[in-house]
Amino acid sequence: MDGAEQVEGQLRISQDHLRQCCTHLGSSLMERERRGFLLYSHFYEQILQQETQLLYQKEQDLKNLSESQTNNPHKEVSGLCRGMALEISALQARVAHLEEERRSSEEQLGLRFKERYDPLVRHLFSTCIQLKARLDEHRRQTQQDVSEMVNRTRREGVDRIMKLKEKYGCTTDDDGLALTQSKKEEVHELSLENSRLTALLGKLKALRRWRQVVDEETLHRRLLQTQQREITSRTEALRVKMAAEEEAVSLQEELDVARQMLSRCQAECSRTKKLLSTRTEELQVARHRSAQEARTRQELETDRAQSLEKMRADVDDRDRQLRALSEQLDRGGRMSQLQRQRSAKEIRQVKGQLHQERCLKQEAFQQVETLKNQVNDKEAALPGCTSAAGQSRTCFTLSVSRLSTRSPSAGLHRVSRQLGSLTNSAALQDLAAERRHRRAETAKWSRSNARAGGADPSRLRVLTAETLLPEL
């Protein structure tokens, strides 16, 4: 596509270039049709010449047979049968050779097409391998980033828990937390090392596969070249064999003719008068043949003129079809451009809506976190809380998680109302009953979470924070 221009992912062709391509296509089609017509005309001329020659030979054989019936009819019949058998065998050999040549030409064409399209297929295969390697690398990188974020979040949570325990004077499980954190860090380092080794192994596999593909391509190319050389050598050998067989058949025919001429020369002295009559008949046959050839040439010329007229009409029809197709292509390009513009506008609107919803959800989650921190601060400041306060706080946590996941604005209003009721009731309870109730609620929620397994992640995070922080 020398005269094409690529604009916005589209391939545009000018009308002049398209017209030039159409004219070039039409001229190439005309040239191909002309060559095919010439080849067919030569082929049919050769067939006519061969048929006339065979007809003349058969007429001569019939004349010779009628003349030699008085001398030795059995000998002449055997000679004719032998000649016909030789002709039949020669024709059968020629048909077999033509079949072999056709088969070899088909194999050569198949190898050419394979040589043309195999590099493209192998390139597509290597591109797919590269894309798969990139996708694996992206997946491993994503898993590594997620594991780093989880480790960092776990470390920050453990540090905060230890600080809160130090603040309230409860340092009983610091060693366990530190040991757990160290084990988690070791596991994280091992997972990072494993991901690096996996990435290296994937790169090695991709490199090995690429080398294997390159080696297979070189070997396949060599195999194709070898097969092509084999086919060419086979065709050359077939041609040589056909030429040798034709030469042998011609020599055999010449030998038979020489034998016949030798037998005829013995009786030529007694048939001189008849020879003059036969010569006159041969002259008449030659004149008839020349007249027939002239008529066939004239018929071929008329057929050629008619075929040229038909080809011109076909070229005109194809030009009109090409013009109609070019107009349809222009209309289709405009319609596709309008459709792309509409789809881009809809995509921008959907992106804006999604961004707005995401911002609203983030604000709602932030407000829920601030309210939860306020509740925790007020619970830590007020020493008297009973089991009723713990139960109301648990229900408050569940309602916060549900409302924050469903509707952020409604969740915030309900959280504010429950926060007021919770602070008023929590001021009238004692700390000991609250701790016992919290421990019971923690055990119950851990069992329910173990049964559920697939609960909401935001609800689990809120419950974990509610159950761990009040004990500090």
Q: Residues 426, 325: one domain?
A: no
pTM (2 decimals)?
Answer: 0.26
Euclidean distance between CA atoms 404 and 386, whole angstroms: 27
Provide the percentage of residues in the chain whose pLDDT is more than 90: 0
pLDDT value for 332: 79
Mean predicted confidence (pLDDT) in 329-339: 82
Domain boundary among 315, 347, 379: 347
Domains in the chain, number:
2
Residue 12 falls inside a structural domain: no
Do 179 and 312 fall within a single domain? yes
Q: Is residue 61 part of a domain?
A: yes
Shared-domain flag, residues 305 and 427: no
426 contacts 379 by C-beta, under 8 angstroms: yes
Average pLDDT, the chain: 72
Distance CA 159, CA 192 (A): 23
Highest-confidence segment of 168-177, 255-264, 347-356, 377-386: 347-356
**Given a cut of 60, is residue 424 above it in pLDDT?**
no
Is 106 a member of any domain?
A: yes
Q: 152 lies in a domain?
A: yes
Give me the DSSP letters along 355-383. Answer: HHHHHHHHHHHHHHHHHHHHHHHHHHH--
* Range with top average pLDDT, 220-234, 246-260, 352-366: 352-366
Does residue 5 lie within any of the structural domains? no
Decide if 11 is inside a domain: no
Percent of the chain whose pLDDT exceeds 70: 72
Whole-Å CA distances, 375 to 379, 384, 431, 466:
6, 14, 16, 10
430/322 same-domain check:
no
Let me know whether 361 and 337 are in one domain: no
* CB 140 within 8 Å of CB 203: no
14 occurs within a structural domain: no
Helix (H, G, I), strand (E, B) or coil at 13: strand
Residue that is last in its domain, among 311, 328, 347 = 347
Q: What is the pLDDT of residue 422?
A: 42
Residues 293 and 430 in one domain: no
pLDDT at 441 over 70: no
H/E stretch holding 12 reads: strand 10-13
Residues in the chain: 472
The answer as to whether 239 is a domain residue is yes
Domain that holds residue 142: 28-265+273-347
Whether residues 283 and 368 fall in one domain: no
